[in-house]
Amino acid sequence: QAWRTAAFGLYGFTQFTKSGFVEHAKKFREEDMQIRLDGKNCLVTGANSGLGYATAQGLASHGATVYMLCRNKERGETALNEIRSKTGNMNVHLEICDLSSINEVKSFATKFSSLEKPLHVLVNNAGLLEHKRTTTPEGLELNFAVNVAATYTLTELVMPLLEKAAPDARVFTVASGGMYTEPLNTNLQYSESEFDGTKQYARNKRVQVALTEWWAEKYSNKGVGFYSMHPGWADTPGVSKSLPGLSEKLSGNLRSNEEGADTVVWLALQPKEKLVPGAFYFDRAEAQKHLKFAGTASSHEQIGSIVDSIRSICSLPANP
């Protein structure tokens, strides 16, 4: 654990910061971003601020029809109007759902599916780092509910819409380099007595990366691509609220929201044959999922039993 934390710190300070982005951007190809998304339907969760907002704006600026999934109607409407006026794209819509409630996620998925529109891009961006142990009214630990349970449930329930957009459909899950510090763990709701929100967040992010691999394999013949990514350390409202220490320490060297969202937008634009199914991306390139000597790699073998647990917790029928 100590080695993982130290290696992660060193790797992060050199790569995940603004200076890391500036360095990596020297290799970016301008023509990669000149692709249009007209006629493509995109759903972005947690889209009213931070990386979700920048992602929704980026997709809208390339002509996509964007559905912004937000918890708060007022903040969502403000963001919606801003993105419409900045991009000149009126095909941006607001959907309301509290992702900490699995029942609300199910209701939203039913309602959204009734539109019967193909879904070309799903961005699982909404995330949470809550330091105090908090239990939702449905009895779930709050970080797990938003980061894992909602991500899994929403993705599974909109699969028929994604299949309508095959072979071009893709699902991006915004994970975090924090996952480098934790192996996959079957203790999904952090039953240890001393709750550590940062550790639980890292575990949640590790689940997202392993889930992406699992989905890519399970649905390999469905024409839907699954990818996870790390935005780097960006100056988002979420980071300043949840990790004020990091925010202060890296003041001036945190990425902008646009820099953090750059890879998601890039992934949405690239021809699918250029992308590696189930891979973890960082700064427009495939990245390692495990740090050297960290001992986290073999843990991914547990993902099957973890999926069974998530399905049971979310009252979804057993996996076929």
Is residue 128 a contact partner of residue 239, using CB atoms and an 8 Å limit?
Answer: no
37-75 pLDDT tens trace: 999 999 999 999 999 999 999 999 999 999 999 999 999
Q: How far apart are CA 137 and CA 159, in angstroms?
A: 27
Catalytic residue among 53, 180, 201, 227: 201
Q: How far apart are CA 277 and CA 95, in angstroms?
A: 29
Q: Domain coordinates of the chain in residue numbers?
A: 1-314
143-178 pLDDT tens trace: 999 999 999 999 999 999 999 999 999 999 999 888
- What's the predicted TM-score (pTM) here? 0.94
Q: Locate 207 and state its tokens.
A: 């689940």
Active site residue 201: yes
The CATH class of the 1-314 domain is alpha beta
107-131 mean pLDDT: 97
